[in-house]
Structure 1
Amino acid sequence: MMQLLSKQKFLFLFGILLVVTPFVVTNRFYLNIFILILLYATIAGSWNILGGYGGQLSLGHAIFFGIGAYTSTLLYLNFGVSPWLGFIIAAVISIVVGILIGWPAFRLRGTYFTLTTIAFAEVIRHLTLYFRDVTKGAIGVNIRFEPSFANLIFREYSAYYFVVLVLFVISIAIAIWVDKTKVGYYLKAIREDEDGAETLGIHVTKYKMIAMVISAGMTGIAGVFYAQYMLFFEPISVFNMNFSIEIALIAIIGGVGTVFGPVLGAFIIIPLNELLRSSFPSLSGMNYLIYGVVLILIVSFLPNGLLPILKSIPKKLKGLNKKNIKVEDGEKVDYSG
């Protein structure tokens, strides 16, 4: 009979693999892919709290990502504030903006909510372009390469890897907390039937706002890391609607409303994206074509994402093994061959 790994053992082995990856993968191109996987898994996991558990399809999450990048970088360049402190400040500002956006937007549902989040993201992007004296406008913000721990700038990619690994672990811990507490149960109830949840006494706006606070804060923190990792960004790259769509797709493909769905989606989409860019540099936009094809296939055949299917495989294998075992004269005889 096939011996199947328990969930705890699998997670332990997965954690070990993540820790040893920078020691095994020394090629900068591939290590960069792993860094991006963990970064996008963190962002998609943050989106998943609001969009997956809460059912609020936000396509404007680039707002918080961009706010995180600009807040930390401008404080660092203009006032010498360490990006490590910038993590906290960016999270706070992202949360405040999230509350200000959520207060009117949560009065809307479905498509209208989605359109509202897109509108807010476009407004903030244009404001960033307009106030060029502060934000440098379309020119973008360039961070000097001055490696030090205090600056969150490193020569080795492995250092960036471990920083984003910590952020990834924190995002997973938050997702597990949400999934196992009443916050997650209430958000799922709101997602399935908002009117029914309200009838049962769930304070719908309150728990939507809790999801927004968590989601916006973690996305803002991810924006800080992105800025210090790339050392250059502009409004079109951090407030881009395509970015919001991309992180939503990662969660949807992996499995929304689950802890590890966004992780699975990131491990599929990001390597595919990077390999397509490096293999077909002249075919701009090929990655979005692939996203579209993958999304159509997932929505058509696997509407709950890939993770539920993978979870069902061990159960099916166990069931198959049981069918191949027959009891004769009080003894189990295996006919599976």
Structure 2
Amino acid sequence: MFPNLLHPRAYVGVLALLALLAVPFALQSPFAYHLAVQVCVFGALATAWNIVGGYAGQLSLGHAVFYGIGSYTATLLVIHFGITPWLGMFAGAAVSAVAAAVIAYPTLRLRGPFFSLATIACLEVCRLLTVHEEDWTGGSAGLNLPLNIGLKWMVFREKWAYLLIAFGFLVATLWVAWRIRRSRFGFYLIAVREREDAARAVGVNAVQAKLAAAVVSAALTSMIGSFHAMYLTFIDPSAAFSLELSIQIAMFALIGGLGSVAGPLAGTVLVLPAAELARGWLSAFGNGTHGFVYGVVLVLVVLFFPRGLAGHLGARVLKLIDRLPGARERALPAAPQSAAAHSAPRGEPLLVAEHLMKRFGGLTATNDVSITLHAGEILGVIGPNGAGKTTVFNQLSGFIRPDEGVVKLRMPDGSWARPGTPNAFALAGVGRTFQIAQPFSGLSVLENIMLGAFMHTRDHGEAEAIAREVAHTTELSALLDVEARSLTVGGMKRLEVARALATRPRALLLDEVMAGLNPSDIVRSIDMVKRVRDTGVAVLMIEHMMQATLALSDRIVVINAGKMLKEGNPADVVNDPQVIEAYLGKGYRDAQAA
């Protein structure tokens, strides 16, 4: 639950955080205390925003709405009911969590700039409501906090007391972000950010994951907003529900490195002190001169560090830290027994598709197709380009819902399940790859495979053990620390298979896993598929490499023009005149006969 404080990454991080306290206490300056409080507050806000904006990849530009809800809730409870802000902040967090769920459920289905625009609209609506509820909120004039000095009211004469509380909020927010990043939930968020379809194929409910991220981020942002209102002792709608604030905290995370734990704080430490000092030193040259600092830093980062400071420098810094004493690797738990051992007896029907029909407008892509995959076999599906193989494949994995017919899967207890969504198919035991490899490019090979392993475990160590075992099967052990984007085409294809195998499927669907490979990679892939079958996993493969298909398949199904053309053993199928005609045309068949 807690990091090993004897590991260099832990104690170096603790020392770096303590420096935020040591510097202002050493200077004993009110401005130094104020600057440190602001760094802690905005570092925590950027870290909280990073959960939804960095991990989940949802660019929320109206995130200050939760800061405003938290600050107003705590302040109103103090003014009207005399409730301590230590309780008021939790009330604000609850209100923000509900608001986040209401806002996020419809808007998270939007893509691109539309989600960002929707969050800005929600922010503006809340600001206008606060302005118009003048009797309750003070309207545009804002509210002054009663100056009740004491810990109970979170109001102090000494700024060092505020700094200690702000530091506590920062540490708590960083701990939550660290826990999420190392958890199954964090891996799922990054998978959704990188490739949502591939995430669904390993059992991720994308909407549910993004909604949970929005709720957690909103609650943390609200609590920090409650404290900041007590620190400022005054709030008004234009500051509490500020688009500028939303952009500012997003920019800190962007500069530091989206999706990293330390990145948002690093961006805050880099930019905020420089901007605040520029505000004081350059204010004589005109208001807003400090904004120039933000712009210059942002332009430099985008030009030279497009993945942020943590994205470009993080790996180098970690390598240096790992050379310090105490950086020994921990022992991993043994990988659990593969679920394939509990598959149906060899030869029994495992995945059954009956009378599948799929139309796209006036085009009938699938016309009464019935396929049965038996336990322990390799079934090859072939056909000319445009025959409808991929449409059938997507129906077998839940990515396309058939207009007619049914797809069902035999469960370990002998019952039949009829999943309806890609993640439901994955959870039921159907793994799949994609025709065009879809790795999570920002993650390492090990982390990519762990994403599949997390389907059946929440434990980070157990998922890593499963991933290493699967990497051995797919010949990826030497590449575990390499970023997925750096792999060759053959490596990416094997990584797709490894990620699917880590979900412990009973049926594995391979979509042209050998397409575009060189001869040596094709040989490795053939051996890999045989090893997969030997573990007890049934394999259905679409493949244009005819020699590989003949060498591997126990049975072959031929699809042409959306219909079943032929089914049987490889030798009979490839010599069938109808199959030859489908591939090479009637003219070739007639010439052969002549």
Q: Give yes or no for TM over 0.5.
A: yes
Q: How does 1:112-261 map to 2 (within 5 A)?
A: 112-261=114-263
CA distance in 2 between counterparts of 1:84 and 1:117 reads 28
Q: Give the drift of 1:142.
A: 0.6
Kindly provide the amino acid, as one letter, of the partner of residue 88 in structure 1: F
- Structure 2: any 5+ residue segments left out of the alignment? 1-6, 322-594
- Structure 1: any 5+ residue segments left out of the alignment? 319-337
Q: Would you say 1:309 and 2:312 are equivalent positions? A: yes
Q: Give the drift of 1:51.
A: 0.2
Residue 48 of structure 1 is aligned with which of 40, 47, 50?
50
3-state DSSP of counterpart to 1:46: helix
CA distance in 2 between counterparts of 1:212 and 1:309 reads 27
CA distance in 1 between counterparts of 2:82 and 2:275 reads 35
Contact 1:22 1:161 in 2 (8 A): no
Kindly provide the amino acid, as one letter, of the partner of residue 233 in structure 1: I
Contact 2:271 2:297 in 1 (8 A): no
| Residue in 2 that maps onto 1:58 | 60
Please list the CA deviations of residues 291-335 of structure 1 after superposition, one character each: whole Å capped at 9, or x if unmatched.
2232222222211101233324457889xxxxxxxxxxxxxxxxx
Contact 2:52 2:214 in 1 (8 A): yes
Larger radius of gyration: 2
Q: Give the drift of 1:149.
A: 1.0
3-state DSSP of counterpart to 2:152: coil
Kindly provide the amino acid, as one letter, of the partner of residue 303 in structure 1: P
Q: State the percentage of identical aligned residues.
A: 39
CA distance in 1 between counterparts of 2:308 and 2:227 reads 28
Contact 1:152 1:228 in 2 (8 A): yes
CA distance in 1 between counterparts of 2:22 and 2:46 reads 23
| 1:70/1:55 CA distance change after superposition, 3 Å | same
Q: Would you say 1:293 and 2:296 are equivalent positions? A: yes
Q: Give the drift of 1:279.
A: 1.2
3-state DSSP of counterpart to 1:150: helix
Kindly provide the amino acid, as one letter, of the partner of residue 302 in structure 1: F
Contact 1:105 1:116 in 2 (8 A): yes
Q: Give the drift of 1:286.
A: 2.1
CA distance in 2 between counterparts of 1:117 and 1:103 reads 12
Please list the CA deviations of residues 219-247 of structure 1 after superposition, one character each: whole Å capped at 9, or x if unmatched.
00011011100001211111110110000
| 1:316/1:150 CA distance change after superposition, 3 Å | closer
CA distance in 2 between counterparts of 1:12 and 1:264 reads 14
Kindly provide the amino acid, as one letter, of the partner of residue 13 in structure 1: L
Please list the CA deviations of residues 141-176 of structure 1 after superposition, one character each: whole Å capped at 9, or x if unmatched.
111322111111001101101111111111011011
| Residue in 2 that maps onto 1:31 | 33
Structure ranking higher in helix proportion: 1
Kindly provide the amino acid, as one letter, of the partner of residue 300 in structure 2: L
CA distance in 2 between counterparts of 1:118 and 1:43 reads 17
CA distance in 2 between counterparts of 1:154 and 1:106 reads 41
3-state DSSP of counterpart to 1:57: coil
CA distance in 2 between counterparts of 1:309 and 1:10 reads 19
| Residue in 2 that maps onto 1:325 | none
Is the deviation greater in 211-220 or in 200-209? 200-209
Kindly provide the amino acid, as one letter, of the partner of residue 309 in structure 1: H
CA distance in 1 between counterparts of 2:292 and 2:8 reads 37
Please list the CA deviations of residues 245-300 of structure 1 after superposition, one character each: whole Å capped at 9, or x if unmatched.
00000000001100000110110121012111111224222232322232222222
Is the deviation greater in 242-251 or in 122-131? 122-131
Kindly provide the amino acid, as one letter, of the partner of residue 250 in structure 2: A
3-state DSSP of counterpart to 2:122: helix
| Residue in 2 that maps onto 1:110 | 112
Task: Give the alignment's TM-score, normalised by structure 2.
Answer: 0.51
Contact 2:21 2:36 in 1 (8 A): no
Residues paired across the two proteins, number: 314
Residue 80 of structure 1 is aligned with which of 78, 82, 85?
82
Kindly provide the amino acid, as one letter, of the partner of residue 308 in structure 2: G
CA distance in 2 between counterparts of 1:301 and 1:110 reads 25
CA distance in 2 between counterparts of 1:314 and 1:106 reads 35
**Once superposed, which parts of structure 1, at least 4 consecutive aligned residues long, lie more than 6 Å away?**
315-318
CA distance in 1 between counterparts of 2:18 and 2:292 reads 34
3-state DSSP of counterpart to 1:168: helix
| Residue in 2 that maps onto 1:329 | none
CA distance in 2 between counterparts of 1:300 and 1:15 reads 28
CA distance in 2 between counterparts of 1:173 and 1:75 reads 28
CA distance in 2 between counterparts of 1:10 and 1:196 reads 36
CA distance in 2 between counterparts of 1:123 and 1:315 reads 44
| 1:6/1:97 CA distance change after superposition, 3 Å | same
| Residue in 2 that maps onto 1:327 | none
CA distance in 2 between counterparts of 1:317 and 1:96 reads 43
Task: Give the alignment's TM-score, normalised by structure 1.
Answer: 0.89
